[in-house]
Amino acid sequence: MIRTRRIAAAALAVATVVAGGIVGTRKIADAQRQEYLSQPLPNAPYDGRFTFARIRFAPRGGGADFFGRGDPKWSHDYPTAEQHFAKIVVELSTIRPYMEGGNVFTLDDPELFKYPIAYLCEPGFWNPTEAEAAGLRAYLHKGGFIIFDDFFGRHWQNFEAQMQRVLPQGRLVKVDRSHPIFDAFFHVELPDHGFGSGGGRGAPEFWGIFEDNDPDKRLVAIVNFNNDVGESWEWSDTGAIPVDVTSTSYKLGMNYLVYGMTH
Which domains does the chain carry?
Answer: 2-246 (3.40.50.12140)
Residues 190-205: pLDDT tens digits? 877 777 655 456 788 9
**Percentage of the chain modeled with pLDDT above 90:** 70
- Parallel, antiparallel, or unpaired: how do β-strands 53-55 and 117-121 relate? parallel
Residues 218-235: pLDDT tens digits? 999 999 999 999 999 999
Is a pLDDT exceeding 70 seen at residue 143? Answer: yes
Task: Kindly report whether the peptide bond that precedes residue 79 is cis, defined as omega within 30 degrees of 0.
Answer: yes
Strands laid side by side in the 219-225 sheet: 103-105, 53-55, 117-121, 145-151, 219-225, 205-210, 173-174
In terms of pLDDT, which residue wins out, 114 or 29? 114
Contact yes or no for 259/181 (Cβ under 8 A): yes
Q: Is the pTM of this model over 0.85?
A: yes
Q: Which range (8-17, 25-34, 102-111, 135-144) has the least confidence? A: 25-34
Q: How far is CA 254 from CA 7, 81, 146, 258, in A?
A: 11, 13, 14, 6
Question: For 240, phi and psi rounded to 5 degrees?
Answer: -75, -25
CB contact set of 1 (below 8 Å; sequence gap of 6+): none
Residues 50-63: pLDDT tens digits? 999 999 999 987 55
Contact yes or no for 185/199 (Cβ under 8 A): no
Mean pLDDT computed over every residue of the chain: 86
The one-letter code for the residue type at 26 is R
Name 223's bridge partners.
Answer: 148, 207
Three-state secondary structure call for residue 70: strand
In terms of pLDDT, which residue wins out, 1 or 186? 186
Q: How far is CA 86 from CA 101, 114, 124, 224, in A?
A: 8, 18, 26, 20
10 Å CB burial of residue 173 (0-12, 13-18, 19+) is middle
Q: How far is CA 17 from CA 25, 121, 127, 241, in A?
A: 14, 26, 38, 13
CB contact set of 83 (below 8 Å; sequence gap of 6+): 26, 27, 99, 100, 101
